[in-house]
Structure formats: structure tokens, C-alpha cells
Amino acid sequence: MVNPPINMTLNMPEASCLLPQTEITINGDLQLCPGETVQLSVPNSSETSIEWNNGTTSNQLTVSQPGTYNAIIADDAGCISFTNSVAVTAAEEIVPFIEPQGPTKFCEGGEVVLNMSGGPNPVWSTGATGTSITVHASGEYNVSTDAVCGDDPITSVSVVVEVLENDPPVVTGVNIAPGDSVLLTAIGENLTWYNAPVGGNVLGTGNEFQTPILDQTTTYYVDANHAYPGEIQNGGKLDNTGPGGAPTTGSYNLFNVWEAFTLKEVTVYLPATAPTGLRTIQLYDGAGNLLQEAPFILEAAGTYILPLHFESACRQQPFLAKLGKWPIQKHRSHHTVPISNR
């Protein structure tokens, strides 16, 4: 043996001669489910003695626990044979896992691919089979696979998909004489009028659109946009413990945004060693311009949740939330996501 691992036990029996290795016969599965056993055996003879590494001396060994098993066989002449080693393991269930390939909240007309990993013979909650499905509708989706032990399938944690719906605008056509103009009306949210079903030029906005003078049949298109509020986002330390929990120099949170947002509130910790009094929360853009600020009086040591409601139409740039020399621990913001249906 070359370079054996540390903490290794070697059996070195004394014998006058060494016989060829004896192979262990395996009857059963080497991966044990709860309550299962596997039978290991070696050839038996009245002229040989057998000892397994767990102390059993018969030629058959019933194994119910994980481990590595081998035996030494000796004949009447004092010659010995080593068996091969057999590893028995406990069966582990593989819980399938779903990984979405993109956002699980999207506008009507969108989709998301759900991929799964782990476990054989996947069956999705939709009835589909295979390792992936494409989802277009709101709902909870999971996938089940065959269990290693037992007949009941193993089911993944569900993934929630939300499709943001938008009611199409309600509009009707009209008949006019050549050379006339007509006032078109539609019912819907945030309406925009176009001259083409996809792309096209914007002709107007609102619930009404006055056409130019028409001398031939003309089709106009209108889309509706419903604005959904954005999800609450949190940033900064969740408490004032550990490194950075209570700085003594200027404290701030730097964050990037991609949509218009509202900075709703900050959580401020005032240590017992800090003076009470005025604290001012300030919001800067990435260029260092002060956008908004709000003063607060902190009358005693403790935790304060300070409402801000700073509105910002700026997007795709960094922002800085700052509080003098005291720690801002957390900010929350939300934005709106428009969807359209033309």
C-alpha cells in the first residue's frame, strides 16, 4: 500500500501462506431504505473458518446498517484469503428543485421557463413531463419525481407565477362620409392612439382622439396601460450589531434604481451614548445633488422608524440616503411597472 490515508485501520493477520482474494456475493441493494437489509455471503466449507469485520463468523452476513464490510477466510492449513470490501450506504431521497429562467412576475403575453433538477421521471403539477416547462399563466407550479424508498413521489417546493393582467380598451368603429373627421372615444387606462397594430407612430393620448379629414377607410389602434405598484425593496443592515452597525462618521446607504421610486422609510438606531435632538435624512443623486430632505427630533436612545415618502422620477443611476453621522440601517422603496394591451 502506497501513501495510505491517515487514521486508517489495517488488519494484518499472521498466516503461513496467502490464498487468492475471495469475492463477496451480494444479494440485494447496497443502498438501504429504512427497514431494509442486504445479504452478503462467501463460499462455505467445513475446512474453512470465516470472520467478518463486524465479528460474525458464518458465511452469510445480514446487513441492516451502512458501513464497509469484508471478511477473512482461513483453511485448515493456516492459509488465509481476504475478501473484497463492500460499501453499504443509506438511501437518500433527492428532493427536486425548480429554478425559474427569468422573472416569475411578468405582463400578459410573456412567459417563463421553469427548469427542474434532481430525481428521476419528473411529472409537473400541470401534468407535463420532462425537465422543463414553459408557463404563461398565473398559478403555483411544482414537480414530483420517483422516490428512492417507497411508492409516494417526492414533490418540490412550489414556484408562484403571477401574470399581470390588463383589460383591453373598449372602442367601436364608426362610418363617416368621405371628407369628414370623427372623434373616436375609448374606455381604458392610460390610453395611447397609434396608426399601426405594432410600433407605429403615436397619434394621441387619452380617451378621445380626433381624426384628420378622411377620404378612405382608415384603421386606428389604441392601447391601455395599467400601472402596478412595485414590490417593497429593503436595503442596508437589518440591525445595529457587528461591524458597521454604529458608525461614528458619516453614514449612508448607496443604492441603484432602474425605475421611478418612492423611498418610504428608514430605520435609525440612536445609541445611549449619542446626543438626542435633530437628525436630518437626505436623499442625493449619483452626482451629489441634494434631492430631498426631512428633519426629525430624536428624544431618547432607541430605534426609530422614520417615514420619508421621498418621490423620485429619476432612474438608472445610483442614489445616496444619508443621515449626518448617525447610522441609517435600512431603506424601503417601491416603483410602478406598466403593462399594455393594444
The per-residue pLDDT string of the chain (342 residues; one tens digit each, 9 = 90 and over) reads: 556 677 666 666 667 788 899 999 999 999 999 999 999 999 987 778 999 999 999 999 999 999 999 999 998 888 999 999 999 999 999 999 999 999 999 888 899 999 999 999 999 999 999 999 999 999 999 999 999 998 899 999 999 999 988 888 888 888 888 889 999 999 988 899 999 988 899 999 999 999 999 999 999 999 988 877 777 777 766 666 766 555 444 567 777 777 778 888 888 888 888 889 998 888 888 888 888 999 999 999 999 999 998 888 765 556 665 554 443 333 333 333 333 344
CATH assignment, 97-164: 2.60.40.10
Buried b (16+ CB within 10 A) or exposed e, 90-122: ebeeeebebeeeeeeebbbeeebebebeebeeb
Residue 277's closest CA among 304, 250, 297? Answer: 297
Contacts of 183 (CB under 8 A, 6+ apart): 208, 209, 210, 211
For position 254, what pLDDT does the model report? 76
Q: Which CATH number fits domain 233-338: 2.60.120.1310, 3.40.800.20, 3.55.40.20, 1.20.1070.10?
A: 2.60.120.1310
Residue 192's closest CA among 170, 223, 171? Answer: 223
Phi, psi dihedrals of residue 97, rounded to the nearest 5°: -130, 135
pTM confidence score? 0.60
**Residue 110, SS3?**
coil
For position 12, what pLDDT does the model report? 66
Neighbours of 2 (CB within 10 A): 3
**Residue 322, SS3?**
strand
For position 326, what pLDDT does the model report? 40
CATH 2.60.40.10 maps onto the chain at 17-90, 97-164
CATH 2.60.120.1310 maps onto the chain at 233-338
User: What gap in Å lies between CA 3 and CA 264, rounded to an integer?
Assistant: 64
**Distances in whole angstroms, Cα of residue 161 to Cα of each of 124, 164, 167:** 14, 10, 19
Q: Which CATH number fits domain 17-90: 3.40.50.460, 2.40.37.10, 2.60.40.10, 3.90.420.10?
A: 2.60.40.10
| The dihedral formed by the CA atoms of 299, 301, 307 and 311, expressed in degrees to the nearest 10 | 100
